[in-house]
């Protein structure tokens, strides 16, 4: 009898370890659980055009960054609303000091700068298809021109509601429509950017006290890399996705009248931006 004790103990241990997890429902959370609370107008695919994202990495203590800002504004003037800029204050030159007390950095921007290995600024990343470390302002135009604008994989419709769902609450309602089959997995990021921020900026050796910073990334509404639209390639190329995300302005210095939401649709694997849209928080 003794000889069976040891094996029985081992078998009992295995039996006891073969546990079972029981998960209670509901199991799934729909990403637009807040509920899209607007009606999107019917989409006319013929009216959709390909827009391009330019993320400019910058910093208020960066002596060459005003040159970058000028280049960016020149491109925005040239391409109009088909080029959507986001200025990301990052690297040590964006850290606040006594002379430059405002902190224009955003958590999402710092994460992006780290992931894109941004070292020297100004640096631009166009449609996230750029090489690591970004490119210098002189190359931005050629990179923007390199985007194939005849290829229009998707449309983004973006409607913001400010103060509707709660005081100081911005709710971004988004509708993504795939205009053709896309063989890849997609994510959607929602960024909040602000124009007209007056704050000191180094320009060469001179400090420009009343410098106006535009397109400054303030926050990501749904995380730095947004949310996956689906884990699988949509079977139907004309799939439509609805989702909504909110953010509170309470306790911030953000001016809603100067803010916009930028929606970025991109490929989960290679980060290529398929479409981008910008819409002011208030009209």
Contact footprint for other proteins (CB under 8 A): 3-4, 7-8, 10-11, 14-15, 17-23, 25-32, 227-232, 234, 239-243
- As measured in angstroms, the least distance from the Cβ of 227 to other proteins is 7
Both tokens assigned to 192: 């909040």
- As measured in angstroms, the least distance from the Cβ of 17 to other proteins is 6
- As measured in angstroms, the least distance from the Cβ of 266 to other proteins is 14
Residue 210 or residue 235: which is nearer to other proteins going by CB? Answer: 235
- The b-or-e profile of 233-247 (16+ CB within 10 A means b, else e) is ebeeeebebbbbbbb
Residue 144 or residue 265: which is nearer to other proteins going by CB? Answer: 265
- As measured in angstroms, the least distance from the Cβ of 14 to other proteins is 4
Residue 30 or residue 138: which is nearer to other proteins going by CB? Answer: 30
Alpha carbons 136 and 125: distance in angstroms, whole number: 9
> Given the structure tokens 């070292």, which residue do they identify?
119
- Do 179 and 155 contact (CB within 8 A), yes or no? yes
Residue 23 or residue 46: which is nearer to other proteins going by CB? Answer: 23
Query: Can you give 117-160 as a three-state secondary structure string?
Result: CCCCCCEEEECCCCCCCCECHHHHHHHHHCCCCCCCCEEEEEEE
């Amino acid at each position: 009898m003794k000889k069976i004790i040891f094996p029985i103990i081992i078998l009992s241990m295995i039996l006891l370890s073969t546990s079972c997890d029981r998960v209670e429902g509901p199991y799934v959370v729909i990403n637009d659980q807040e509920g899209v609370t607007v009606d999107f107008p019917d989409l006319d695919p013929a009216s959709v055009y390909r827009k391009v994202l330019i993320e400019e990495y910058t910093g208020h203590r960066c002596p060459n960054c005003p040159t970058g800002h000028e280049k960016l504004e020149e491109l925005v003037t040239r391409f109009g609303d088909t080029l959507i800029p986001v200025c990301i204050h990052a690297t040590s030159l964006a850290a606040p000091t006594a002379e430059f007390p405002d902190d224009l950095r955003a958590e999402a921007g710092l994460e992006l700068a780290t992931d894109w290995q941004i070292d020297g600024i100004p640096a631009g990343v166009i449609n996230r298809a750029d090489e690591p470390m970004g490119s210098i302002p002189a190359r931005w135009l050629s990179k923007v021109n390199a985007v194939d604008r005849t290829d229009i994989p998707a449309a983004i419709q973006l409607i913001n509601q400010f103060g509707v769902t709660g005081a100081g609450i911005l709710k971004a309602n988004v509708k993504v429509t795939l205009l053709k089959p896309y063989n890849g997995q997609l994510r959607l990021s929602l960024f909040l950017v602000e124009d007209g921020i007056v704050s000191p900026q180094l320009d060469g050796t001179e400090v420009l006290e009343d410098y106006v910073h535009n397109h400054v990334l303030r926050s990501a509404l749904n995380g730095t890399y947004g949310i996956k639209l689906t884990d699988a390639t949509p079977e139907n190329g004309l799939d439509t996705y609805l989702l909504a995300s909110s953010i509170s302005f309470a306790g911030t210095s953000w001016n809603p009248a100067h803010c916009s939401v930028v929606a970025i649709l991109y490929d989960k694997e290679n980060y290529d931006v398929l479409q981008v849209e910008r819409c002011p928080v208030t009209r």
